[in-house]
A and B are shown apart, each in its own frame.
Chain A
């Protein structure tokens, strides 16, 4: 029977078939960070349990770390306690650890691929929903809760129900000015934040094939925003080129064997999917979110919709609530929204390509006076190092952006970086939820180029007319 890539990876990891599409599934790779792991380690200790395979884990702090003045003591005692707990736990359980002052430190979903830890065909988990990012390599990667973190540490398995297969095909070619972020937002705008619930999404078609590995990561990252626990892209030569020579990638003779295995992972031509979505890439425009859910998204050229244009009464009510929170009106043009703060970073858009896109726009320009703060937060120390080698930091600093140390930063209001109440933020992160970037903060999700252009203009602008 023809199989999808998801079917193949799933079947290759079944330890025990429990019937009814439920299996005890083997987990190859486990990324650990400071926020969702302390209770799991406590659980292990309380029962005197060991970690089944310490070699399957990398731990790194990211959510809580300050992005500036790292040499100073962390002013937040609770953050400090959490960071110290991680450090003590990795020592006690003897795990690979990338400390805050290590050049490899960064957002867990940036460092996994960067270290070659993320590989095609593996099952990879992390106590973070954006683990879907790693699907860009053809890894079955998904976020788990803390009890599951403990379960994987103790047993190297999870009991899971198999999801259904969905394929999202993007045909044609992306217009200039559009990036993987716009593709991700376009898909969520189309199927809604619940549209992928219960599915694993495989992304396919010429637009996906043309995306860089960075772009594929951006796209898979936002699968969870469409409700899908995981996204997948078939591994190809781009994937292998990216991985070759990275620290955790197969070496020597093992490399050839691995590539041969990886080439067989792609979905069989005749494989059938439970749901198919096809979008024309040529129709995608630079997008901006106007509400408090990633599905509240429209092209930068459009006006905020009328609540009455939605048929579902619950959605109409949600639109009113969202507009009230965002301080926006039905029918208002997106380009009329002033921008108070800009954040370019997060596991969605903090890789080298994203920084290049931002620098491209910033070059020879200045951040508008009304913008309180325009942050550029590289996803890892290695991204930062490369950007600096390319002179991008200088371009951005000259334009008035702030160049920070790697971490989750203003993606979530958990470290010192956050937006004030009522402020509009042009953000390259993945969630525009109420209060996500600080109580009362108004998040607009955009691509890095669109965020940089908004910083310069002081309001949203169509990147295609930005000259």
Chain B
């Protein structure tokens, strides 16, 4: 996994509330057996009209926000389906960090696994960042000291320490867990006595 420590970039403002993963990537595009190729369909209903023509001035294709690696989003971002295709699609649009008042749990978990940082900030702070993004100001995100800076403003954020370690070190989570193999095995030995019916004889 790609490491995440600091990021400085302009940001794309998209502060609509309750953006679900069906909007991020519609179900009809989930038939691929690969992890790539979802970016072109990301936010499809926002970026394209019913006839497949690109919607003029949509924030995701606008020249103004070209190259943005940060997305400023609305409350309860990523709700709905657990599809990891959503963070895969977002990553292909170039985003490595999403800032919103709150995130759905599964979505936020899926982001970490893909090296995307989700930052929850109070609504007023997000509102201010939307204005800054619209004005084209750069935003500086620092995961190590858990801060977001923009012009003279400084915002601190909370972050799950286990997830932080994962992002900062970029380690392979499965390899890491497999180091606990003996703990897993001794748990199973205990469990076979306590709930034997859960194990095939």
Contacts and interface: CB of A to CB of B under 8 A. Distances in A.
Given A145-B83, A318-B17, A433-B80, A155 B184 contact: yes
B48 to A, nearest CB: 10
Nearest to A250: B197
A81 interface: yes
Given A20-B161, A147-B113, A439-B45, A55 B200 contact: yes
Interface of B: 15-18, 20, 22-23, 26-28, 30-35, 45, 50, 74-76, 79-84, 87, 102-106, 109-110, 113-114, 160-162, 173-174, 177-178, 180, 183-184, 187-188, 191, 194-200
Contacts of B26: 413, 435, 439
Nearest to A24: B180
Contact of B106 (A63, A76, A229): A229
A269 interface: no
B27 A413 contact: yes
Contacts of A353: none
Contacts of B183: 15-16, 24
Nearest to B161: A20
B30 A414 contact: yes
A64 B82 CA distance: 16
Category for how many chain A residues contact B? 35 or more
A55 B184 contact: no
A315 B196 CA distance: 50
Nearest to B79: A193
Contacts of B23: 433-435
A131 B106 CA distance: 12
Interface of A: 12, 15-16, 18, 20, 22, 24, 26, 28-29, 35-36, 38-39, 42, 47, 49, 52, 55, 63-64, 76, 78-79, 81-82, 85, 119, 121-122, 127-129, 131, 142-148, 150-151, 154-157, 159, 161, 163, 193-194, 197-198, 227, 229, 250-251, 254-255, 257-258, 261, 293, 314-315, 317-318, 321, 412-414, 421, 431, 433-436, 439-440
Q: Top 6 A-B pairs ranked by shortest CB distance?
A: A250-B197, A147-B113, A145-B110, A38-B33, A78-B31, A145-B84
B126 to A, nearest CB: 10
Given A18-B162, A145-B83, A161-B160, A154 B35 contact: no
Given A145-B82, A227-B79, A318-B16, A194 B102 contact: yes
A308 B66 CA distance: 35
A197 B196 contact: no
A293 B17 CA distance: 10
A258 B197 contact: yes
A198 B105 contact: yes
